[in-house]
Every structure is written in C-alpha cells, then in structure tokens.
Amino acid sequence: MTRLFGTNGIRGVVNNDMNCELAMGIGKAWGTYLKRTNPRPHCVIGYDVRLSNHMLKSAMVAGLLSTGCDVVDAGLLPTPTLQYTVKEKQFNADIVITASHNPPQFNGIKGIAYDGTELSKDVEEAIETIYFSGSYALAEWRNVGRFSTWDGAIDLYIQGIVSTIDVARIKHRRFHVVLDCGNGAGCLTTPLLLQKLGCTVTRLNCEPDGRFPGRHSEPIPGNLTALMKTVPEAGAFFGVGLDGDADISIFIDENGKYLWEDKTLALVGNHITKENKGGVTVTPVTTSTCFEDVIRRNKGTVIYTKVGSPIVARVMKERHAVFGGEENGGLIFPQFQYCRDSGMSLAKMLEILAKENRPLSELIAEIPAYEMYKTKIVCPNEKKEFVLNQLVEQMKTDHAVVSTDKTDGVKLLMKDGWVLMRPSGTEPMFRVYVEAKEKKQAEQMAMFYKNLVGSLIESG
C-alpha cells in the first residue's frame, strides 16, 4: 500500500503532493477512524507559520466536521504547545499543520493521540486504509461537527513549563540568552517563556514569517552562523536556535560554539539521572556512546530503540523513563509530556545552569568525547532486506565485532567504537553511522562499511 505517513507525519510541496484534496481526505479518514470508538470526537487543530497554513487547515477541518467530529482551532503555535493542550484539555486527537524544518514550499499534516504522543504506525495505517478505500463515515446533516476557536493554548503551555521547573533559582541568575526562532512558530511562545523566567533576551528572527526570510528553518551549524556570532558579542550565557515548529532546540555556548546534539542530550541526561539517583533513559541506536557513559556513571540505564521520536516517547512511557530523546536536539521530559519540546528543553537548560553555576562550555567539556561519522549510499527499496540479511550473516565471522544489536538495522559493537548500518525508512538509501575515539578512525571505518554495503547492493 502507498505510504502517506513518513517518520513525522505526511509532508509534501504545497499544491503539488500536499494539497486541499489530500488534507480534506485525511480529515474525513481521521474522523471516520475516531468515530469507531467515540460517537462525538473532540479534536483540536493548530498550525505553524507557513503561508499555506490556513488553506490546509481549512480543508482538514472541513473533512473532520463532515464526519461529525467537533473541532477547536487553537491557532498558530509550536507543535509541543498543541501536544500539551490535547493532553491537558482532554481532547481525543490533535492535528498539526506543519512541515517542521522543511523549506517554505513544503507543508505537512501530523497526528497526535489523546495523550499528546505522536500517532503510532498502526493508527496511521488504519487512517491510510480508510483514505485509500474512500470508505468515509459521513455524518447526517444534523450531526456534522461544530467548529470553534480557542486562544488559551500558549498560556496553558507556558504555565505548565513554569510549574515544572525551579523558576526562583533561574530568575535569581538574571540570564542573558540569545534566541533565534528562525521566524518559526517558537516566536509565539519562547520569548514569552524567557520573559517569565526573568531573562534578558537578544532576539534574532523572532517575527513569525512563513517565507523564513532570516535563515533556513533547519537549525544546523550552517544556518546558525548569525546566532553563533551574536552570543559572544552580546556577552550572553548561551544561545538557542529553534526549528520551524519549535520541537527541536540547538544550544550555542557562551563562546559561540555549536553544541552537538548528542552532547546536549548527555548533559541534560546527566543532570536528570544525578537528581533521580539513576533511572531509565531511552534513546535511538544512533545516539553517541557519550550518553550511555554519563547515564551509567549515575547508575542509570539506557534502553535503545529504533529511530523515530514517536517510538522513543512510547518506550519512555511504558518503561517509566526519567528522560529520553534523540540525537537531533529533540529532548523529551516525561514529567511534562511525552514529546520533543524546545520550550521545556530551554527551561531545563536554564535550571541546570542556575544550579551548577558554571558556564555551559565547562559543563559540556565534562561529557566524554567521541567522533561520529555519518554517510549513506543509494539502495533500491527492494534490495534493503537482502542487504541487511547478508550483513547480519557476514558479521558473525567478523573478529572485530564484540556483539551485534539488531534493534534497527545492524549495529556492530566493537572494542573502541561502533558501526550502525540501517536501511532508511523513508528513502531508497542505506545509512552508515560510525563512532570511534578518533576522527580518522571513524572516517576509515565508515568508508570500509559503506563499500561493503555497496558491494552487497551490487550483488543482490
């Protein structure tokens, strides 16, 4: 069956593969699905800053209303703000119109379950099945859904964060922060949050604009050069850059240095497991060993999952984890909610700095250093399984391998590093990740295993 949902919802170019017909069809399919277990589902919808937000939202709302779902429009806001809303206000579902960090011509549809977690694959497939069969359960004229608007989500979210952290301690330090919202949805919440926490804020790209005029929406080093330059110039404690829908946050230390996401994950994980005297943490197999090093030091444990934040969040919930997240700046704080959240990440970073009373660069320097090398190779989808099976078979006789982990692809744990080879879930690609102590070693290993994957693709 054609898959519409990727790792993070449905995405496409506006008025091309992401159009009103699709949005309305998904709205009808979703409504039909929700009505199976609830005679009158109550949904909330929100959207990021993209120029097509009202166009797609309106189509989606029309589809939902036609099946007899009531819909509340919560307006323009970050994805985690809406996730918090669905959980706190006990909606049955939440829909976000967003394409996260993609270029401005893209938009997307992302589904959230009643508890604020991203939809599971099973639910996405059930919605797809209804969509492709066109078997919509449309309501009688008297039972179509009711539409209303509500503007309380931002206050609810900020109040929620503030009640979770040590505000007095943060306020006492009067932090100066440089904030780069990248003209995304974070503009609606993050300046307000920092104000509540008594911070002085130097703002970059803090006007919502769906053309993303300030910088590209993805907070990678090449897109955050202005932020890196501004932090030391302004004499700020640190900088923070957000992606388009503000679930991802990237930190810059007081010297203007970009902090790799693994290290931020380890820094926050270190703090939380120290406070909890251990505890379960969850992260995908792609995360650097520096995370496990600090968690084990604090007598905590790490559960590795497949790649994808919905999976990490679900395992965190099942295993009562104290912390988790991905190696891309998506941190998950279970005491607040089970999803990636830049607002909570920022607040927690301020709390850590307030408690430690040391510069961010010093805290990061304590995290063990590894060198990661990532590469990929084109692999037709139909060959992925063959290549993976061959790799597993061949690695049984590789003497350098201490143990093998098949959580996602195949991960080879070696004496001084690891190699992960996994088929991409969304593209005709095979990805190769290597981590070692030395950069050159990581690069050489990556080339060796990439060539191995390449030869298997050719032989398959």
Q: Cβ closer to Mg ion: 180 or 247?
A: 247
| Helix (H), strand (E) at residue 344 | helix 342-356
Residues forming beta bridges with residue 305, ordered by sequence position: 284
Going by their DSSP bridges, the two strands 279-284 and 323-325 should be labelled as parallel
Length of the chain: 460
* Nearer Cβ to Mg ion (32/100): 100
Task: Give me the least distance between CB of 260 and Mg ion, in Å please.
Answer: 18
The HSE-up count of residue 191 (CA atoms within 13 Å, CB side) is 16
Q: Return the number of the residue (96 or 349) whose C-beta is nearest Mg ion.
A: 96
Is residue 313 within 8 Å of residue 324, measured between CB atoms?
yes
Helices and strands (H and E) in the chain: how many: 15, 19
What is the number of the residue whose Cβ is closest to Mg ion?
100
Place of tokens 């309305």: 24
CA distance 129 to 72: 26
DSSP code, position 67:
T
Q: Tell the smallest beta-carbon distance from residue 8 to Mg ion (Å).
A: 7
Residues that bind Mg ion (CB under 5 A): 100, 243, 245, 247
* Shorter beta-carbon distance to Mg ion: residue 83 or 288: 83
Shortest reach from residue 99's CB to Mg ion, in Å? 9
Catalytic residue list contains 100: yes
* Catalytic residue (choose from 100, 217, 249, 309): 100
Which residues, other chains included, contact 364 with Cβ-Cβ below 8 Å and sequence gap of 6+? 253, 259, 263, 264, 267
Contact in structure between 335 and 321 (CB atoms under 8 Å):
no
Which of 153, 144, 152 shows the shortest CA–CA distance to 71? 144
Residue with tokens 């690069």: 443
CA distances from 290 to 86, 281, 302, 372, 448 (A): 34, 13, 11, 11, 24
Task: Please identify, using beta-carbon distances, which residue of 19 and 102 lies nearer to Mg ion.
Answer: 102
Residue closer to Mg ion by CB (options 298, 328) is 328
Closest CB 7 distance from Mg ion, rounded Å: 11
Exposure letters 290-306 (e unless 16+ CB within 10 A, then b): bbbebbeebebebbbbb
Gyration radius from the chain CA atoms: 22
Cβ of residue 214: shortest distance to Mg ion, in angstroms? 17
SS (H, E, C) 412-443: EEECCEEEEEEECCCCCEEEEEEEECCHHHHH
How far is Cα 128 from Cα 124, in angstroms, rounded to an integer? 6
Tell me how far, at minimum, the Cβ of 440 lies from Mg ion, in Å. Answer: 33
Beta carbons within 8 Å of 167's beta carbon, 6+ residues apart: 196, 197
Nearer to Mg ion, 243 or 253 (CB): 243
Nearer to Mg ion, 292 or 327 (CB): 327
Q: Which two tokens stand for residue 356?
A: 């430690």
Please identify every residue annotated as catalytic: 100
